[in-house]
Amino acid sequence: MKVEGDAGYYEWREFEARAGDQVIRYAAKPGLADWDRVDHGACLLAESIEVGQGDRLIHFHAGAGIAVASAALRGAQATARDDNIVAVEAARRTLALNGVASSMPAPVYDVAAVTLPKARDVVRRALADAARTLKPGGRIYLVGANRSGIKSAIDDLHSIFGAAEVVAYGKGHRVAVAVRPDRVAENDGDGFAETQVDVRGSRWRVVSGPGVFARDRLDEGTRRLIEAMTFRAGESLLDLGCGCGIVGLVAAQMGSRVTYVDANAAAIEATRRTLTANGIRDADVIWSDCASAVADRHFDVVATNPPFHQGGGTDYLVARQFVRDADRVLRPGGRLFLVANRFLRYEREMSGLFSDARVIFEDGRFRVFEAVK
């Protein structure tokens, strides 16, 4: 089901999905991966999960919550988890649409499910979390698309749980199941690590982790943004899509008052750790769908390297909303600094909202724009 046109980024839509003999109503909007298409993996997972009345189930990377709602309708005490703030709200709405509620977190679960995330380190993190929360003898289900690395993920499932079996195929997806043994290998930490990066004539301590953009390096686009943008002491700056927090960190050390927002919970944690590592305390670091959590504030500067991928494809809706939200929160005369790959065209979006938009840096790969409200 493809929704044509942009009916508003923040507008929620309702859809239906079929899982066996169940029809699940679910909520979705831009910002959720493949939000306007049937999630065949979620439907296949919902059909495959075996739950009984009162079974406790936790679903990692639950997306819109289709499988969680399906299990709850069959009597399970179901809990949805996701790093993306849009997915968390989608799952909450999906459960409400089906007349069920998410259960409170439990110390141990009978059943776990993992929807294959994009990065393999995030897959391993989710499988390790599931192993820690499952009771011995509890079942774990893993679902993913063939083209997205599910076979490698099943290998990881096998290495942690000792055995894994593919139990369902369909429409380019497969579901594997494993049983938690009495003992599993202990997890060696949470995956967050500190590195040092050199930019703008200084060395900075940066902490990042699984699921954070460019987690083990300073992305070259972000480097160009930091080097090209201008800061003035005392200005307020919004680091929009903060990732590990390096852009706002540099601005803060040069005298700006910085607020950090990101839709990814791992990025929020990484930014907090980056600021702590550099001795910055009491900063506002906020989990937010684009700039919605700070829509009632005003800033002198917005800096961003907007994302243009959601799930496995290219999606410009979030990036375009970054530009619109920047216009919304900037004071008159405020400046937007935005870096983008050369093949991405933001000129029309920016010129339609800002009185002055110009390229202040470009090379063979990137452009940095400055736009004035």
Q: What is the pLDDT of residue 314?
A: 56
For 217-234, write each residue's pLDDT tens digit: 899 999 999 999 998 899
Q: How far apart are CA 293 and CA 166, in angstroms?
A: 41
Range in 174-188, 278-292, 318-332 the model is least confident about: 174-188
The pLDDT assigned to 49 comes to: 97
**pLDDT above 50: residue 6:** no
Contact 131, 94 (CB under 8 A): no
The answer on pLDDT for 144 being more than 80 is yes
Give the model's confidence band at 5: pLDDT under 50 very low, under 70 low, under 90 confident, else very high: very low
pLDDT attached to residue 192: 93
For the chain, how big is the Rg over CA atoms in Å? 22
Nearest-angstrom CA–CA distance, 25 and 15: 6
CATH of 13-179, one of 3.40.1260.10, 3.40.50.2300, 3.40.50.150, 3.30.420.40: 3.40.50.150
Show me where the domains of the chain are located: 13-179, 193-372
Work out the mean pLDDT of the chain and round it to a whole number: 92
Instruction: Give pTM, 2 decimals.
Output: 0.93
Average pLDDT over every residue of 184-189: 72
Examine domains 13-179 and 193-372 and report if their fold is the same. yes
* pLDDT bracket for residue 7 (50, 70, 90): low
What are the pLDDT digits (tens) for 78-105? Answer: 999 999 999 999 999 999 999 998 888 8
Instruction: Give the residue-averaged pLDDT of 171-184.
Output: 94
Among 3.50.50.60, 3.40.50.150, 3.90.226.10, 3.30.70.20, name the CATH number for the domain at 193-372: 3.40.50.150
Residue 4 has pLDDT above 90, yes or no: no
Query: Does residue 2 carry a pLDDT above 50?
Result: no
pLDDT of residue 309: 55
Q: Are the beta carbons of 153 and 125 closer than 8 angstroms?
A: no
- The whole-angstrom separation of Cα 240 and Cα 180 is 40
Confidence (pLDDT) at 116? 94
Over the stretch 294-346, which tens digit does the pLDDT of each residue have? 999 999 999 999 987 555 555 689 999 999 999 999 999 999 999 998 887 78
In the predicted structure, residue 368 carries a pLDDT above the cut 80: yes
